[in-house]
Chain A
Amino acid sequence: MAQTSSPTTAQPASVPTDTSAPANEGPAPPAPSRDADVEALRQEVRALREEVEHVRAAKEPAVTKLPPEHPLGYEVFWPWYTPPDGISTLAYVQGQYSYNDSSQDQLTQSGQPLNQDRFLIRRARAGIVGDWEYAALAVELDANTTNGPQVDLRKAEASLQYRPNRRRPPMVMATLGLFDVPFGYELVESPRTRWFTERSVASQAFFPTEPDLGLRLAGALDWFRWTIAVTNGNPMGETPSFGLQDPSSSKDVVFRFGFDTTPLHDLNLAGDVSALRGKGFHPGTAATKASIQWVDYNESGIVIPSELVGVSGQAASPSSLFDHWAVGANLRMHTRWWPGVLKIYGEVVLAQNLDRSLYVADPVVTNLDQREFGWYVAALQEVFRYGMVGLRYEYYDPNANVFDTRGGKLLPFSEAITNISPLVGVTLPDRARLLFQYDFNTNAFARTAVGVPSNLQNNSWTVRLQVQL
């Protein structure tokens, strides 16, 4: 709007504002005087408007104080993820080059390559997420070349929910389908947002892959988080493999209770305690027929009676179940200081007969329970929004009661595995990240030159590029 007022004609705000001129009061006042009054009134209105707006702003509800969608730079995990209303999509690709000290240009007895120095697609995932007033769905497909090309389903969640505040997690949610087992933090942290290339060794031993089929109930009340789930108890990748099937009618029950709060503007604290209880499966054997074995003791290539061994047929042996359980706790802190967001977190898990992929637990024959203990602590420091440095220390003891036999003596020893994993990375926020991670691994896979259990050189490093929608 054009302003034509002159400072010399301005009237004080208290001047009467009636500008209608009586017809019998002589000649009309000069026009400049009326214009000045109008201008004065306009200024007064502007001042009042500004004053009202200030007051309104002061009284307005604190919308901007709601937790942002990615508080302090991290993404909340399922089921606390708060997607936009309606249908949305997600996709990301993790391509990488890996190197491992233990690589050899040979095959295992079962024909698997021992070489691990290679390019691979670790994850190429795409999915859709739907969120409406009382229902939600999530579908995610994964393709990778970790063990050759393969495609499988990683998430298929059908949910009913009550989520009155659209910027907060649901107060109650019931999900049936394929979802990440809600035990601890690493299992449910998305590989898309996790900076370390893989979960800790303990987590991978207990849960070879994250998802399992089942029913999940969850809810969030202010800072309180609770999850109860019943699952088949057979995640993909377990040994023996019944992944995403269920050879037994018993189910694994998982509880997780925790908190997630932002007591200060630049500080977020969260943590959970988890428990799992269920049954492991010891597979029986099928019936066999009698057979003859020949051992060429004298290397003559000729069968003689003393080299023949009769192997009688065996009846089928029944399958059986054994108890397994785990308890765990984790604590996480995000805080912002001058270089950026600092994340410090850790987790501890105590379990029995739960190792399903590394030192696979099966106490049916030995009657000896395998007690496992694992923990890690990690720190990630954002460096001016475009960089990241981190360090993780992890420990996994797959069997607290293991003995080694040497010289006729049973000697206790530790099969514990430790990893020290520093990483550095650069990122285009919400679009791409390039990282380098080195894993210093210590284990008990080898023996020294005097026969004592020792470390097998197994250090590795990874360069990974991730690009996402």
Chain B
Amino acid sequence: MKRLCVGTAFVLTVTGLAFAIACGQGMPANSGVTEPLLVHGAQFVSGPLPGKAPTNGGPPAPSGDAGARTFPPLTITAFQVEYPLALPGATGKSVAGRASSDTAAIGVKLQGLGSGYWVVPIGDPDPDYPGESDFSLSADFNADDPTGQRNLLAVAIDSNGNGGIQQESPLCLTQKIPDNLHECVKTNVVPRAVFTLQWDANWDLDLHVILPDGADVNPKQPVTVPSEGGPPGPTVGKIDRDSMRGCVNDGWRQEDLVFPTEPAKGNYELYVDPFSSCGLGAVRFNMIVSEPGADGALHPTFTRSGEFIQTQESGGSRGLFVFEKRFD
């Protein structure tokens, strides 16, 4: 009995000591793939962005002359997204700015989205702007992000974790089905119709649309009216890409035939060609027809799903008939 007690005490002591030393410390693992914004080389921190909500006045004006500009503590003095338009799933969007020299790190997030924010250490002092240090980051956007106008928020954080006043930079997330950027610029007119093929695995599928005159529009012959040397006219329907061409992963797995204006009258037959399985077992697809709604935006008016297995890969044909769309 004595031996048992001594042995048990030894085990408990060792385990308890180890727990006391090492338990529960550190940052939880989060690759950020599920977040609406992913910043390369940065640390994801759960919780609200530190600092005070942004004001409408933009960065506070510096005091003093140009040689000795001074700012309130923890100030983002400049903040800009390289091009304030992003497709859902866009990658490598460059964001840069400057902050007052008391800054230890910069926190960024998409306003109103996500479970936390990203932190990057502040960069080098900017020789052109005394008292300020640069920062830059490269951001990816989740393909499932809600579309429309958003603000990217940034805040200067000191070494104690205190934040200054958040600064915002406008950014528009466009929708994945091409709508002539109507989601971000409401004055832009949406296309008259869009036939979209989306799929879920890295197969090389191709959208084929048989026009009323019998022509086959597909990624290899991507326009509804063949041009004679020059680029297709602004009213010509066109397939936007040959996704997964040659089984090269492009991350899209989507092809769209966009009709900027009213298509020719008649029946349009929509097919899916399972060109290559790329070594994968099966693929599921959606065929979507989108048309303008009463609000002037593009809305899906028809969706049909299907599946291919590896033995059905065609190597090049019209493929599986899915739907017939009529324009009067």
Contacts and interface: CB of A to CB of B under 8 A. Distances in A.
Nearest to A441: B22
A455 B25 contact: yes
Contacts of B101: 407
Contacts of B50: 449
B175 to A, nearest CB: 12
B240 A301 contact: yes
Interface stretch (B155-163, B272-280, B315-323): B155-163
Interface stretch (B30-38, B53-61, B189-197): B30-38
B29 A408 contact: no
A339 B3 contact: yes
A442 B26 contact: yes
A422 B104 contact: no
A393 to B, nearest CB: 9
A451 B22 contact: no
A457 B105 contact: no
Given A299-B86, A450-B159, A450-B161, A407 B104 contact: yes
Contact of A103 (B18, B29, B92): B29
A298 interface: yes
A381 B22 CA distance: 23
A405 B34 contact: no
A108 B29 CA distance: 13
A405 B121 contact: yes
Given A450-B104, A451-B119, A299 B22 contact: no
Interface stretch (A18-26, A322-330, A383-391): A383-391
A100 B230 CA distance: 59
B232 to A, nearest CB: 12
B170 to A, nearest CB: 14
A interface, over-half SS: loop
Contacts of A389: 7, 10-11, 14
A450 B119 contact: yes
Nearest to A298: B83
Interface bracket on A: 35 or more
B233 to A, nearest CB: 14
B29 A102 contact: yes
Contacts of A404: 121
Given A408-B124, A408-B125, A420-B21, A451 B104 contact: yes
A443 B107 CA distance: 23
B1 interface: no
B25 A407 contact: no
B85 A298 contact: yes
A384 B3 CA distance: 9
Contact of B29 (A391, A440, A457): A457
Minimum-distance CB pairs A-B, first 8: A455-B26, A440-B22, A451-B105, A102-B29, A408-B124, A447-B43, A451-B121, A446-B27
28 contacts: A101-B28, A114-B29, A297-B83, A298-B83, A299-B85, A301-B241, A387-B7, A404-B121, A406-B105, A406-B122, A408-B123, A422-B18, A440-B19, A440-B22, A442-B26, A447-B42, A447-B121, A448-B43, A449-B43, A450-B158, A450-B161, A451-B104, A451-B120, A451-B121, A452-B104, A452-B159, A457-B28, A458-B26
